[in-house]
Homo-oligomer: A and B are copies of this chain.
Amino acid sequence: MERLFYPRRLVVVGASRNPRKVGSLILKNILESNYEGELTAVNPHEDSIMGVPTVHDVSVIKAPIDVAIIAIPAQAVPEVLEQLGERRCKYAVVISSGYGETDKKGEEREEELVKIANRYNITLVGPNCLGVINASSAAHAYNGSFALSSHIKGSVSLISQSGALISSALDYGAQAGFGFNKVISIGNQADLDVLDGISYLAEDDSTDAIAVYVEGLKHAEELMKTLLEIEKPVILLKPGSTNAAKEAISSHTGSLAGEERVIRELFEEVNAIQVDSLEEMLSTMHLFSMHQNVSKRDVGVVTNAGGVGVIAVDTLSRAGLSLASLQKKTQEALKDSLPDAAAVSNPVDVLGDAGHEEYHAAVQAVLEEGEVGSVVVVVTPQIMTPIKKIAEALRRLAKQYPHKPLVPIFVGGDGVQPAFDLLQGKLPVARTPNVGIEALARLYHYSENPPNKKLWSRPTRYVKKQSLERVGELISEQRTAGATALDFDTISVIGEEFDIPFPKFDYVEAEEQLGEIWKSYQKPVAMKAVAPDVLHRSDEGKVETNLLKLPDAKAFYRREQDQTVIMQQQIMDGVEMFAGVKTDRQFGKVLVVGLGGIYAEIIDDTAVGILPITKPRIWRLLKQTKSYQVLKGARGTVYDTQFLVDTIYNIHLFAISFEEVKEIDVNPLIVQETGGYVVDMKVLLKE
């Protein structure tokens, strides 16, 4: 994609003199960006527009063309694309709309474009996009978009499915004090998509961080793998879809792992920096364009306002950062340079009337402190506060200590604007504590959690051939019979073959057998009617537990004897966990683990991972749940987590061995001090 961002020969098809036309706006932006390559405009009626040589027809332009930007009505695009193909055009940026974003006809038009592009080996950007921007000062860099051109230059690059968001982000960034390097509006992603953009920017030396706005994910699994390999921060804003949320959810696992949730947790696994709002995205880009690493969780805070200092401390501890404790040496240095009434422990209060000397001395002392990983500086505009001079002092200090992020928070509006003007593109300056500090927390989280490629190695998947055959046959039989859920028979065989331990049980086929069976059990026992269509048994009254007397067992049998009835050893001790497998539309089979029992669906204490999975990744997922604290001994008893991991691993082996399996729902999976039991397991089949 080098030539997309640095074209030697650039063509604007649909250039115009009319300043309201998109083709005119784009040409103007290109000229203002001081593009140094060969620029040609195309317009059937002009010979020169804004001083740019203009031809009436693409076919007269010298080949090869690196980039053609097309801003003409959709119906005219195919012919132009053919002509561009003949001129060995490499990239066609189709600004025009009226494609897949509209209706069936538009979709067909889009397919036609892709066909032509493929035929001529043209890479298509868009259609329905805002264009491409390279804000770097290199030769051949250009602004080939119709975004507001008020933006400034920076080191973060943006890939966006929404063109309008680009306009807003550039404009917002310029006021907030940060700029962009490269911007791609990918539009309908007919050809070039998010993944292509990320892959290119990952290798682009002038891009320090990549920001991505995307609504729908194509090639989700491939994207995950790409992210795992990337060694620079990727900031991701992916809004949820209300339609998705409305979808009826068919089983327990479903409700525990909605699609959005799966995506969120999977991106978390590869350390993508996920943001929830435009504002978070912008402030995170701002900070990451200047810093990609912070070494310590501990933050130093310097403020001229006790109250706002307290708010900052509150914000940082809520965001998962901590307040550094300053060593005696540092406190002495602060005492020497600040008035007596100043507070020299963290947060350092330089007092309301502090000038730039006090700020310089205090911030430098805190930067010198070894315990401090980053410094937040709060400045409120008292009438006597020298905003500009303080900003200058901070800029000098940031140069002097380039490895400790320095986050200035000038709280106010026009009164603090001079600081924003001065620090633009230099320091990640914010207007309120939460904006700056939450971005800092994301930086810390990113620095601390490099994706562990080893965790992601393929699991050694050893399943005996005869196990696969035996279970496979049973599943086939069930499917042939039209079942959508496996029966108890099959599930108990799965337990044997995949080492998933069920409690002792017996089929009860006649009331007379009950007495004999009863004797062989420790009390209390459980009885179940196990017809496969009864999905959520305890909801339906098809399970009875705590049976201590034979007549009660008989009564249950009599009531349910038209079903398959079993007696099962009731498991009295242990922690109830949940394990499930769900088929996600984008990621295929995913694992859900966490709190089980009757609270499983009410209190969502689960973690989600993509399959196949290794045991170390199962550990990692479990550690994300609160229930894990109970397992490891928060209440005195330490439970057999190794058993839990092994059993979940085995359930997953079963899940990935059979394509036909759609969902698995294991609840409760009881973990005891030694070993444990799968008390109930349901398996749904694909239809």
Contact = CB atoms under 8 A, between A and B. Distances in A.
Given A174-B414, A276-B318, A164 B305 contact: yes
Interface residues of A, number: 98
Contacts of A539: 635-636
Contacts of A97: 341
Contacts of A25: 383-384
A435 interface: yes
Contact of A415 (B148, B383, B413): B148
Contacts of A431: 172
B432 A282 contact: yes
Given A522-B548, A523-B523, A310 B598 contact: no
A572 to B, nearest CB: 4
Interface stretch (A85-93, A155-163, A366-374, A608-616): A155-163
Contacts of A433: 277-278
A193 to B, nearest CB: 16
B413 A174 contact: yes
A175 interface: yes
Interface in A402-450: 411-416, 431-435
Given A168-B305, A311-B237, A148 B381 contact: yes
Given A146-B383, A172-B411, A630-B599, A307 B165 contact: yes
A598 B632 CA distance: 13
A593 to B, nearest CB: 15
Q: Which 4 A-B pairs have the closest CB atoms?
A: A162-B307, A175-B413, A164-B305, A171-B412
Contact of A239 (B160, B282, B313): B313
A278 B311 contact: yes
Given A168-B381, A434-B277, A603-B626, A523 B548 contact: yes
Given A603-B603, A626-B603, A215 B414 contact: no
Interface of A: 20, 25, 97-98, 101-102, 146-148, 150, 160-165, 167-168, 171-176, 213, 215, 237, 239-242, 245, 276-280, 282, 304-308, 310-311, 313-315, 317-318, 323, 341, 352, 380-384, 411-416, 431-435, 522-524, 536, 538-541, 545-546, 548, 572-573, 575, 595, 598-599, 601-603, 605, 626-627, 629-630, 634-637
A546 B574 CA distance: 11
Given A278-B311, A538-B637, A603-B605, 4 more contacts: A276-B315, A277-B315, A278-B411, A599-B627
A175 B414 contact: yes
A239 B314 contact: yes
Contact of A382 (B146, B213, B411): B146
A538 B164 contact: no
A599 to B, nearest CB: 7
A276 B313 CA distance: 12
Interface hub of A20, A538, A602 (most chain B Cβ within 10 A)? A602
Contacts of A595: 599, 603
Contacts of A171: 381, 411-416
Nearest to A103: B341
A432 B381 contact: no
Contacts of A637: 538
Contacts of A341: 97-98, 102
Contacts of A215: 307, 310
A433 B281 CA distance: 12
Nearest to A317: B242
A540 B413 contact: no
Contact of A165 (B280, B380, B540, B546): B380
A524 B572 contact: yes
A573 B543 CA distance: 13
B380 A168 contact: yes
Contacts of A629: 602
A246 to B, nearest CB: 10
9 contacts: A98-B341, A164-B306, A167-B383, A171-B415, A176-B413, A278-B311, A538-B637, A602-B634, A603-B627
Given A215-B307, A323-B242, A384-B20, A412 B636 contact: no
A213 B176 CA distance: 26
A604 to B, nearest CB: 9
A361 B280 CA distance: 32
Contacts of A603: 595, 599, 603, 605, 626-627
Contact of A313 (B242, B314, B415, B416): B242
Q: Find the residue from A163, A172, A626 having the highest chain B CB count within 10 A.
A: A172
Contacts of A548: 522-523
Given A384-B20, A541-B636, A150 B413 contact: yes
Contact of A305 (B165, B282, B523): B165
Contacts of A602: 626-627, 629-630, 634
A629 B601 CA distance: 10
Which of A239, A245, A434 is most buried by chain B, counting CB atoms within 10 A of its CB?
A239
A413 to B, nearest CB: 3
Contacts of A413: 150, 171-176
A637 B545 CA distance: 13
Contact of A164 (B147, B352, B522): B352
Contact of A310 (B20, B239, B314, B627): B239
A352 B164 CA distance: 7
Nearest to A28: B383
Nearest to A600: B635
Nearest to A106: B341
Contact of A307 (B161, B175, B245): B161
Contacts of A546: 572-573
B213 A307 contact: yes
B538 A636 contact: yes
Contacts of A323: 242
A237 B432 CA distance: 14
A277 B175 CA distance: 22
Nearest to A543: B636
A161 B626 CA distance: 38
Contacts of A176: 413
